[in-house]
């Protein structure tokens, strides 16, 4: 088994194999991944270990079957969890489906869903009933494979806030080797 020490980030980018010179940089969801990298660059104690740095980089125009998909799988195999950036812009792309499938259905690694359009815990959950809000559960339908597979692993739902992301990454319940039981979790208001 691979050394599962990284945090794999899944986010929507235009379908791979695009000839656009901007590639992933042309899609808003990529910005949130880059922000994690910037936080780590500015503060070495920030608990993010980038699984995308665990093998050779690839170009957006690389071949899907022979280069991109094997690299994604290798990175996921070396990850203790997946950070899934879910926004109003997220689309059900081939890459997102592959990442979700390989992380959840093959590797059974915990998922930390970061809802980038929201900043407060109360944006994600109803603080009175302690349930996830319908506007959030509706977003799961943007990636049906996630919606249909997530019950197999522990899934932590959080807004896009640096300190909450730090808490999530430090939480042993959302790491492969020490994961808690499959269910939906969130930080209480």
pLDDT tens digit string along 40-89?
A: 999 999 999 998 775 555 555 567 677 778 888 999 999 999 999 999 98
Does the pLDDT at position 172 exceed 70? Answer: yes
Q: What is the model's pLDDT at position 16?
A: 47
How far does the chain reach from its first CA to its final CA, in angstroms? 38
Retrieve residue 17's tokens. 């194999």
> Rg (Cα) of the chain, in Å, rounded?
16
Mean pLDDT (the chain) is 88
Where residue 149 falls among pLDDT bands split at 50, 70, 90?
very high
Contact 96, 142 (CB under 8 A): no
User: Average pLDDT in the 114-134 region?
Assistant: 96
The CATH fold assigned to 6-186 is: Rossmann fold (3.40.50)
Domain ranges for the chain: 6-186
Measured CA to CA, the distance from residue 36 to residue 27 in angstroms comes to 16
To 5 degrees, how large is the angle CA 107–CA 140–CA 106? Answer: 10
Does the pLDDT at position 106 exceed 50? Answer: yes
């Amino acid at each position: 088994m691979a050394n599962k020490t990284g945090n794999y980030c899944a986010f929507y980018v235009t379908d791979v194999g695009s000839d656009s010179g901007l590639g992933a940089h042309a899609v808003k969801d990529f910005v949130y991944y880059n922000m994690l990298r910037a936080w780590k660059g500015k503060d070495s104690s920030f608990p993010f270990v980038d699984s995308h740095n665990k093998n050779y980089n690839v170009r957006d125009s690389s071949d899907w079957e022979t280069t991109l998909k094997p690299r994604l799988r290798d990175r996921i195999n070396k990850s203790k969890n997946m950070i899934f950036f879910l926004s109003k812009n997220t689309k059900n792309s081939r890459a997102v489906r592959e990442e979700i499938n390989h992380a959840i259905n093959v590797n059974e690694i915990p998922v930390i869903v970061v809802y980038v359009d929201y900043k407060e815990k109360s944006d994600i959950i109803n603080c009175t009933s302690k349930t996830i809000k319908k506007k959030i559960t509706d977003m799961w339908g943007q990636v049906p494979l996630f919606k249909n597979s997530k019950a197999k692993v522990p899934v932590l739902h959080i807004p896009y806030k640096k300190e909450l992301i730090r808490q999530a990454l430090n939480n042993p319940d959302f790491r492969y080797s020490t994961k808690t039981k499959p269910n939906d979790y969130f930080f209480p208001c």
